[in-house]
Amino acid sequence: MNFFDKLIELFSSAKYMESMFKGLGATVLISAAAAVLGLILGTIVAFVTIAKDSRAMKLPKLLCNIYITVIRGTPMALQLFIMVYIIFAIKGFPEMITAILAFGINSGAYVAENIRAGILSVDIGQTEAGRALGLPGRTTMLRIVVPQAIKNVIPAIGNELIALIKETSIVSMVSVYDLTMAAKDIGSGKNLASYLVPMLVAALFYLVIVYLLTFVIKMIERRLRAGDKR
Amino acid sequence: MKKILSIMLVALMLVGTLALGSCGASNTIIVQTNAYFAPFEYLDGGEVKGVDVEIMNKVGEKLGKTVEFKNVEFSVIIDNVSAGKICDAGAAGITITDARKEKVDFSIPYYTSVQYVIFAADDAVETKTVDGVEYIVWEALAGKVIGTQTDTTGWIYTDGEINAQESDPDYGYNGVLYGTNTTMKSYDTAQIAADAIGTHVDYVIIDELPAQYIVAKNSGLKCLPLYYTGTDGEADAPVEEEYAICVTKGNTALLTAINEVLEELLVEGENGKTKVEELVMKHMGLDG
């Protein structure tokens, strides 16, 4: 009754659908930009944390460990709040950029741990064999260990990207018009005056993005595994 | 490796310049609001519109500045305006209270609102009718679960009435529900609280106009004004409040401009209505 009326009203209204797609655009933009930032940051941090102990690496290693501990140990909503209202508390600074930085920095910590696990999962014998054949340490890492590690890391990174997309739903807290805010907009008193329908539709949108991403990840995995079969 | 590093560097620089490029907006008045409070502010295709927006746009015209509205959680607005780092003013149908006055400067009041109770149409809540006005007194809500929007006056009043042990006129509440096993639940917006009626909450307390909006579009809900029971034979009185716009303490230039605009808007026109009342009608879609 009321539920289906509102569902039909939402899908048949150009204004509401425009709002939904506007929100979808922001969600995709933040997720994609934060994912790129997170991958870059995570890769750097991972290589620092697995580097051999030496005097020069002591400080970078300590900093990376603090970064991972703090970011993984505090809630994302709180990190976003601190980034927007304390660190980037500058008049006119776009919340969108702050949000991308906050999500990218958050994602980086998880990606770093995923990459570290992937590299450590490659048998030490592979490194030893490379070195025994006379390859330098760096070549052994880049040509023997990393290609094998990537294969192991892809599912975990995919997992992190999916989590990241859904986590961006809290940016409406800091005035970014994303998919969740679009749902709140459509559900507010001036429009449908009920959250249930727009929230369910927003959930459907998230599901579609995640499904498409899963599809791409599966494809990459399949290609990487092609060489395994003999 | 060098190639990757340089790509990373370029990416970081790009983010940096983008961020800085959009900075330095000294010619903009940044106003925080919570755009789920029609007709005072609401989203329309992602843009904030409403009575407060029109008032602030007139202030912007007066000062020759552009006005930018930011849609945030209601509960952070007063603190953000107080800090003055990321915004200049707050316009969100904000009620003047003593606690808020300590943090920000308020303009002259521009609208008087009363608190309303939203309830399920089939709810057998006890109502009173005096001089043709039907209302609900606080006592009728005893022992129930009341939903409110965090940090709004409905929230402050309900919290006060449930938790204040004795009458405290300074804060405007009397503890009428103290010890009655009444509980309050807080929500991000009044709409979520209203959606929870019948399942998670029994009643929702929110300002008059947002309440009427919600009820108009949901046939299963009704709303009535909320009253205090009169003491010593006095008549029952509605839970009244006054809206004003707040600015960072000491920003007199902006405050003066806002007050001037409000004074102009509060002059009664030929039809016996002020400009503010006309704006309210317009944004409720009642101007024909």
Residues B49-102 have pLDDT tens digits of 999 999 999 999 999 999 999 999 998 999 999 999 999 999 999 999 888 999
Angstroms from B255 CA to nearest CA on chain A: 18
Is some CB atom of chain B closer than 8 A to the CB atom of A118? no
Dihedral, CA of residue A152, residue A157, residue A159 and residue A160, to nearest 10: 150
Q: Indicate if ipTM > 0.90.
A: no
- Across the range B129-158, mean pLDDT stands at 92
Chain B CA closest to residue A174? B72
CA separation for the pair B190, B149 (Å, rounded): 5
CA B160, B162, B167, B173 torsion-angle sign: positive
Instruction: Name which residue leads in pLDDT, B270 or A105.
Output: A105
Q: Do B191 and A193 touch (CB under 8 A)?
A: yes
Q: Which chain B residues contact residue A89 at CB under 8 A? A: 83, 85-86
CA separation for the pair A201, B151 (Å, rounded): 29
> What percentage of residues in chain B have a pLDDT greater than 90?
56
Q: Do B43 and A36 touch (CB under 8 A)?
A: no
Is some CB atom of chain B closer than 8 A to the CB atom of A188? yes
Q: Which chain A residues contact residue B18 at CB under 8 A? A: 97
Q: Which chain A residues contact residue B3 at CB under 8 A? A: none
- CA distances from residue A6 to A190, A195, A196, B61, B221 in whole angstroms, order as listed: 13, 10, 9, 39, 16
B85 closest CB neighbour out of A15, A91, A188: A91
pLDDT above 70 for B149:
yes
Hey, which of A38-42, A218-222, B164-168, B227-231 has the most confident mean pLDDT?
A38-42
pLDDT at residue A36, as a whole number = 97
pLDDT at residue B21, as a whole number = 46
pLDDT band for position B170 (cuts 50, 70, 90): low
Phi, psi of A28 (to 5 degrees): -65, -45
pLDDT at residue A9, as a whole number = 87
Q: Do A91 and B30 touch (CB under 8 A)?
A: yes
pLDDT at residue B14, as a whole number = 61
Q: Which chain B residues contact residue A10 at CB under 8 A? A: none
**Could you tell me the CATH number of the domain that includes residue B100?**
3.40.190.10
B261 in any annotated domain: yes
pLDDT above 70 for B7:
no
Contact B283, B150 (CB under 8 A): no
Instruction: Name which residue leads in pLDDT, B213 or A74.
Output: A74
Is some CB atom of chain B closer than 8 A to the CB atom of A63? no
- Across the range B159-169, mean pLDDT stands at 76
Instruction: Give the CATH fold of the A2-228 domain.
Output: MetI-like fold (1.10.3720)
Is some CB atom of chain A closer than 8 A to the CB atom of B195? yes
Contact A151, A224 (CB under 8 A): yes
Cis geometry, peptide bond prior to residue A60 (ω within 30 degrees of 0)? no
Q: Which chain B residues contact residue A100 at CB under 8 A? A: 15
Asked if B209 and B136 sit in the same domain, the reply is yes
> What percentage of residues in chain B have a pLDDT greater than 70?
87
pLDDT above 50 for A1:
no
Alpha helix (H) residue ranges in chain B: 2-21, 51-63, 74-83, 98-101, 153-163, 190-195, 208-216, 252-265, 275-283
pLDDT at residue B1, as a whole number = 55
Q: Do A188 and B36 touch (CB under 8 A)?
A: yes
pLDDT at residue B102, as a whole number = 93
Angstroms from A229 CA to nearest CA on chain B: 30
B202 in any annotated domain: yes
Which residues 154-183 in chain A show a CB within 8 A of chain B? Answer: 172-175, 177, 181-182
Condensed to tens digits (0 to 9), the pLDDT of residues A97-109 reads 999 999 999 999 9
Asked if B157 and B232 sit in the same domain, the reply is yes
Asked if B159 and B75 sit in the same domain, the reply is no
- Across the range A45-64, mean pLDDT stands at 93
Is some CB atom of chain A closer than 8 A to the CB atom of B284? no
3-state secondary structure of B68: strand
Instruction: Name which residue leads in pLDDT, B217 or B18.
Output: B217
Asked if B121 and B232 sit in the same domain, the reply is yes
Asked if B121 and B216 sit in the same domain, the reply is yes
pLDDT above 50 for A174:
yes
The answer to whether the predicted template modeling score (pTM) of the entire model surpasses 0.90 is no
B213 closest CB neighbour out of A90, A95, A193: A193
Asked if B219 and B122 sit in the same domain, the reply is yes
Condensed to tens digits (0 to 9), the pLDDT of residues B218-250 reads 889 999 999 988 877 778 889 889 999 999 999
Is some CB atom of chain B closer than 8 A to the CB atom of A87? no
- DSSP bridge partners of B70: B32
pLDDT at residue B89, as a whole number = 96
Q: Do B191 and A187 touch (CB under 8 A)?
A: yes
Its domain, for residue B40, covers 26-112+242-283
B2 in any annotated domain: no
Asked if B273 and B225 sit in the same domain, the reply is no
Q: Taking all residues of chain B, what is their mean pLDDT, rounded to a whole number?
A: 87
Domain ranges in chain A are 2-228
pLDDT at residue B40, as a whole number = 93
pLDDT band for position B288 (cuts 50, 70, 90): very low
Q: Do A173 and B11 touch (CB under 8 A)?
A: no
Asked if B123 and B93 sit in the same domain, the reply is no
Q: Do B35 and A188 touch (CB under 8 A)?
A: yes
pLDDT at residue A93, as a whole number = 86
Interface test with A, best of B6, B52, B217, B284 (most A CBs within 10 A): B217
A91 closest CB neighbour out of B38, B86, B216: B86
Q: Do A194 and B213 touch (CB under 8 A)?
A: no
A188 closest CB neighbour out of B30, B38, B45: B38
Is some CB atom of chain B closer than 8 A to the CB atom of A40? yes
Give me the half-sphere count of Cα atoms (radius 13 Å) on the Cβ side of residue A41.
Answer: 23
Q: Do B19 and A195 touch (CB under 8 A)?
A: no
Condensed to tens digits (0 to 9), the pLDDT of residues B93-121 reads 999 988 899 999 999 999 999 999 999 99
B17 in any annotated domain: no
Q: Which chain B residues contact residue A84 at CB under 8 A? A: 86
Residue B131 gets the label, from left (phi > 0), alpha (psi -120 to 50) or beta, of left
* Tally of structural domains, chain B: 2
Give the pair of three-digit tokens for residue A228: 């395994």
Asked if B153 and B181 sit in the same domain, the reply is yes
Asked if B107 and B249 sit in the same domain, the reply is yes
Q: Do B30 and A100 touch (CB under 8 A)?
A: no
* Integer-rounded Cα radius of gyration of chain A: 22
Q: Which chain A residues contact residue B85 at CB under 8 A? A: 89-91
Contact B245, B52 (CB under 8 A): yes
Asked if B77 and B124 sit in the same domain, the reply is no
pLDDT at residue B23, as a whole number = 45
pLDDT at residue B272, as a whole number = 84
Q: Do A92 and B22 touch (CB under 8 A)?
A: yes
Asked if B229 and B119 sit in the same domain, the reply is yes
Condensed to tens digits (0 to 9), the pLDDT of residues A124-172 reads 999 999 999 999 988 999 999 999 999 999 999 999 999 999 999 999 8
* 3-state per-residue secondary structure call for chain A: CHHHHHHHHHHHCHHHHHHHHHHHHHHHHHHHHHHHHHHHHHHHHHHHHHCCCCCCCHHHHHHHHHHHHHHHHCCHHHHHHHHHHHHCCCCCCCHHHHHHHHHHHHHHHHHHHHHHHHHHCCCHHHHHHHHHCCCCHHHHHHHHHHHHHHHHHHHHHHHHHHHHHHHHHHHHHHCCCCHHHHHHHHHCCCCCCCCHHHHHHHHHHHHHHHHHHHHHHHHHHHHHHHHHCC
Q: Which chain B residues contact residue A192 at CB under 8 A? A: 217
pLDDT above 70 for A91:
yes
